[in-house]
Amino acid sequence: MSAEIIAVVLSAFGVVVTLGTSMFVGFAWCVRRIDAVDRKLSDRIDAVDRKLSDRIDAVETKLSDRIDAVDMKLSDRIDALGHDLTEVKISVARLEGPVPRLLTRMR
């Protein structure tokens, strides 16, 4: 082998090693950047999620309180209406008198 061939082979090997190393370092840098951005984004998403959960819980509590209040009002009104209806039924029954029998006794 001549000196020129050895120089070309060593130069090609040096170029391959240099390109491989630079590609590895470049990819490692990209991965580190992506992880850093992912961590920041994850923290922001967690903060927004916590805020949103708190707001949803507050709205849910308010809504359940309002629904309970409406339910109580409605049940009171229905109970009062049932009582009034019972009184009306009794009054109508008193006005109509006893139910006439279909068969009368013969003496």
How remote is the C-alpha of 37 from its chain's centroid?
26
- Asked whether the predicted pLDDT for residue 105 surpasses 70, the reply is no
pLDDT tens digits, residue range 64-103? 999 999 999 999 999 999 888 988 888 888 787 776 677 6
The one-letter amino acid code at 68 reads D
Q: Of the given ranges (6-15, 45-54, 71-80, 86-95), which has the lowest mean pLDDT?
A: 86-95
* pLDDT for position 103: 67
pTM of the model: 0.46
Look at the block and give the residue holding tokens 């109508």: 92
pLDDT at 3 over 80: yes
**3-class secondary-structure state, position 80:** helix
